[in-house]
Amino acid sequence: MNRKLLYPLLVLLVTVGLYYAEQYIDKENEPYPDMSAETSETYSKFSTDYLPQSTYDNVVTHKYYTLSYAEAHEQAEWIAYELRKDQIVNSDFKRPYFVEDREVKTGSADWRNYKNSGYDRGHLVPAADREFSENAYHETFLTSNISPQDHDFNAGIWNRLEQKTRYWAKKYSSIYVVTGGVLKEGLKTIGDEDVSVPDSFYKIIIKISEGKHNAIAFLIPNQVTSVSYYEYVVSIDEVEEQTGIDFFPKLPDSIENILESTSNAKEWRKR
């Protein structure tokens, strides 16, 4: 064979071989979490009374959180879970690989969409919220639980809010959390699967004390900021307006209307 043709052919073969080797190695090292051995001591099912409405009719109920997957944006429009005081522990689990969520009927986005994108694979359910069980921890590395986040946002204000959320779980014994990116048409996308990059993220937290509901909601731009997350406190009604999601349709109107229309953070600031 002509040497001028041989060298390009060899380069092509090596490139293709390396590509498929990477795919194989990645798959070989991506264990899917097995929840079959979990016990009732570590597992508590999220009350369906606090589940939002699914805009995309694509709800997935995992053992440690429930989500509604937005196929058009290749990520969850919301993820909901309970966080209890006894679940806040520090464990030295080995960080696993991200894996696709087999329970998403349309298929969740491959983690490779995020490679060299300039965005973090931002957890919606923080891994630190699920360190009470190795399987629960692994479940947070399903790709249905990640969304493109600016690194300084993810490591900054969003991380501080996640830490505060765990503080509230310890203080109030149990809270309900609903979180996600604000998904809409025209967003920037990354990767071969066109994963949408939200301009902002929301987090809604509910506590129940002496039979009374109290909530706080945040709507924070997906960018670096040095201000307090309290500067981004909004009403749930405003988050609904931005996202188009009806968050707590199963609650009695007498509770839902008051809960969603107020945005007073005073109660949550108390030490």
Block residue for tokens 């805009």: 55
Tell me which CATH homologous superfamily contains domain 37-269.
Answer: Extracellular Endonuclease, subunit A (3.40.570.10)
Residue 127's pLDDT is: 97
> How confident is residue 19, by pLDDT bands cut at 50, 70 and 90?
low
Residues 63, 43 contacting (CB under 8 angstroms): yes
Residue 75's pLDDT is: 98
Domain ranges (residues) in the chain: 1-30, 37-269
* pTM for this entry: 0.85
100 burial via Cβ count (<10 Å: 0-12, 13-18, 19+): middle
Q: Over 50: is that where the pLDDT of 72 sits?
A: yes
Q: Which residues are bridge partners to 195 per DSSP?
A: 190
pLDDT, tens digit (0-9, with 9 covering 90-100), for 126-172:
999 999 999 999 999 999 999 999 999 999 999 999 999 999 999 99
Residue 89's pLDDT is: 95
